[in-house]
């Protein structure tokens, strides 16, 4: 076929093929293999996928069992959250379960934690069955938090980790080590600081990536004003920190009671659950990213649960996905206030839901490991 079609036309056709078909095409001839595995093709295929207006939206769902098994699948963004595809998960964690840090352009970031220490990160593309294990720069009795995201300027995927050797106290000078891992470079490097970083977080690996920056719910400690919550961000391209002010009613709430989520792929939302005669989720949505005046409050009211408070998992369209008592997942309509049981169960407090985009990311990386149909599990150390 290549004898009759121009190279440009062949590429345009290949850009439109799904991942599974492209992987098959790599075995048809050497020229196609080289083309499809090139960084330029991988990038353009991703951009084509993102640009599709009729693209089928997918969600990544991680469920855990009492037997310490992890099940990953892709779900459709329809009313019943139907399963689209089961994902083969070949890894074994050092303790009970991996911590899912997030997903970006088809690349899933996992943190392997042993005795409260991050012993490794895994960057994993399940559709092409490749992964990269990243060892942290520092191990030891440290306080740290981490995030994962994409640098669109350099077409690079990065991990950021902030490490302190002691817990911050009021008025203390805290100069943590800030390290950045670049997938393109395959190594860590330090980020210089011009002054003390007066932030900490209780959410060690829980973050939200959007608009080129990774975000955390953080708090700053002041000797006179006490603890004040903010959204702390780190721009992956400019490699600088940014701060977004929260609504005043959330500024002094216990940080562990707040959940930070992506809202409609372009902004952030912060969710707080309260329990009185009924359960209420107070969801603050930043309608215009970065504009503090655009914070808008939405409320979802549930019947009393009897056993604990439900946990917010994410927002899709105008629905809040929640983990209810005993681990059942439900969807609550923010307009009608109707709650539907999705008939999905996972070990409580272990479920993860996040948006997912199919891609070829990692296909060009020489340091990426393929695992094929290996069902014995891989040690994540």
If you average pLDDT over every residue of the chain, what do you get? Answer: 88
* Residue 139 pLDDT > 70: no
* Residue 89 pLDDT > 70: yes
Q: Which residue has the higher pLDDT, 291 or 7?
A: 291
What pLDDT, on a 0 to 100 scale, did the predictor assign at position 325? 82
Lowest mean pLDDT among 7-16, 80-89, 187-196, 230-239: 187-196
CB 241 within 8 A of CB 233: yes
- Residues in Cβ contact with 118 at an 8 Å cutoff, skipping those fewer than 6 apart: 111, 112, 136, 144, 146, 161, 204, 205
Provide the pLDDT confidence category of residue 106 given band limits of 50, 70 and 90.
Answer: very high
As a whole-number percent, the residues of the chain with pLDDT over 70 amount to 87
Q: For 213-242, what is the mean pLDDT? A: 86
Q: For 264-283, what is the mean pLDDT? A: 88
* Residue 264 pLDDT > 60: yes
Q: Which residue has the higher pLDDT, 205 or 266?
A: 266
Q: Which residue has the higher pLDDT, 246 or 162?
A: 246
Provide the pLDDT confidence category of residue 121 given band limits of 50, 70 and 90.
Answer: very high
Q: Phi, psi (5° rounding) for residue 368?
A: -85, 140
Provide the pLDDT confidence category of residue 104 given band limits of 50, 70 and 90.
Answer: very high
* Residue 377 pLDDT > 50: no
CA–CA separation, 87 and 85 (whole Å): 6
Q: For 277-292, what is the mean pLDDT? A: 92
* Residue 71 pLDDT > 70: yes
* Residue 172 pLDDT > 70: no
Q: For 315-326, what is the mean pLDDT? A: 91
Q: Is 103 exposed, middle or buried (0-12, 13-18, 19+ CB in 10 A)?
A: buried
In sequence order, the β-bridge partners of residue 102 are 109
Provide the pLDDT confidence category of residue 230 given band limits of 50, 70 and 90.
Answer: very high
Cβ count near 197 (within 10 Å): 18
Lowest mean pLDDT among 29-33, 208-212, 351-355: 29-33
Q: For 25-36, what is the mean pLDDT? A: 92
What pLDDT, on a 0 to 100 scale, did the predictor assign at position 64? 96
What pLDDT, on a 0 to 100 scale, did the predictor assign at position 381? 39
- Residues in Cβ contact with 315 at an 8 Å cutoff, skipping those fewer than 6 apart: 261, 262, 263, 264, 269, 283, 321
The pTM (predicted TM-score) of the whole model is 0.91
Q: Token digits for 372?
A: 């094929």
Taking the CA of residue 242 as centre, how many other CA atoms within 13 Å lie in the half-sphere pointing to its CB?
16
* Residue 80 pLDDT > 90: yes
Q: For 207-214, what is the mean pLDDT? A: 95
CA–CA separation, 78 and 96 (whole Å): 31
Q: Token digits for 243?
A: 């701060």
What pLDDT, on a 0 to 100 scale, did the predictor assign at position 308? 65
CA–CA separation, 178 and 158 (whole Å): 13
* Residue 276 pLDDT > 80: no
CA–CA separation, 268 and 215 (whole Å): 9
Q: At 22, which helix (H) or strand (E)?
A: helix 19-25
Q: For 57-63, what is the mean pLDDT? A: 97
What pLDDT, on a 0 to 100 scale, did the predictor assign at position 170? 46
Give residue limits of the domains in the chain: 7-45, 46-379
What pLDDT, on a 0 to 100 scale, did the predictor assign at position 177? 81
In sequence order, the β-bridge partners of residue 333 are 319
CA–CA separation, 230 and 201 (whole Å): 10
Lowest mean pLDDT among 92-96, 286-290, 356-360: 92-96
What pLDDT, on a 0 to 100 scale, did the predictor assign at position 307? 58
Q: For 291-299, what is the mean pLDDT? A: 96
What pLDDT, on a 0 to 100 scale, did the predictor assign at position 194? 60
What pLDDT, on a 0 to 100 scale, did the predictor assign at position 75? 97
Which CATH superfamily includes the segment(s) 46-379? Kelch-type beta propeller (2.120.10.80)
Q: For 50-72, what is the mean pLDDT? A: 93
What pLDDT, on a 0 to 100 scale, did the predictor assign at position 376? 38
CA–CA separation, 175 and 162 (whole Å): 10
């Amino acid at each position: 076929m290549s004898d009759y079609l121009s190279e440009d036309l062949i590429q345009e056709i290949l850009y439109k093929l799904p991942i599974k078909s492209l992987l098959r095409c790599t075995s048809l001839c050497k020229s196609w293999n080289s083309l499809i595995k090139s960084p330029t093709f991988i990038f353009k295929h991703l951009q084509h996928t993102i640009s599709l207006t009729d693209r089928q939206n997918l969600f990544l769902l991680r469920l855990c069992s009492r037997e310490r098994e992890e099940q990953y699948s892709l779900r459709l963004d329809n009313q019943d959250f139907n399963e689209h595809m089961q994902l083969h998960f070949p890894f074994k964690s050092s303790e009970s379960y991996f911590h899912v840090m997030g997903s970006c352009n088809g690349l899933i970031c996992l943190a392997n934690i042993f005795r409260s220490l991050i012993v490794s990160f895994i960057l994993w593309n399940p559709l092409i069955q490749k992964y990269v294990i990243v060892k942290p720069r520092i191990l030891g009795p440290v306080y740290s938090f981490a995030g994962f995201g994409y640098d669109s300027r350099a077409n690079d995927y990065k991990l950021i980790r902030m490490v302190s050797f002691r817990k911050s106290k009021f008025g203390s000078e805290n100069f943590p080590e800030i390290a950045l891992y670049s997938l393109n470079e395959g190594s860590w490097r330090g980020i210089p600081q011009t002054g003390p970083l007066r932030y900490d977080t209780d959410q060690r690996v829980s973050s939200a990536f959007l608009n080129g920056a990774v975000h955390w719910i953080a708090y700053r400690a002041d000797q006179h004003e006490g603890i004040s919550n903010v959204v702390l961000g780190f721009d992956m391209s400019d490699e600088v920190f940014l701060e977004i002010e929260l609504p005043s009613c959330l500024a002094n709430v216990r940080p562990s009671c707040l959940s930070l989520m992506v809202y409609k792929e372009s902004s952030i939302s912060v969710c707080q659950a309260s329990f009185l005669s009924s359960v209420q989720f107070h969801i603050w949505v930043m309608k215009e990213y970065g504009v503090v005046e655009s914070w808008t409050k939405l409320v979802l009211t549930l019947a009393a649960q009897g056993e604990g408070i439900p946990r917010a998992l994410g927002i899709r369209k105008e629905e809040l996905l929640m983990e209810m008592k005993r681990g059942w997942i439900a969807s609550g309509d923010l307009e009608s206030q109707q709650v539907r049981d999705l008939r999905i169960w996972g070990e409580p407090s272990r479920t993860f839901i996040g948006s997912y985009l199919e891609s070829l990311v990692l296909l060009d990386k020489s340091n990426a490991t393929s695992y094929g149909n290996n069902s014995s599990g891989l040690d994540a150390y």
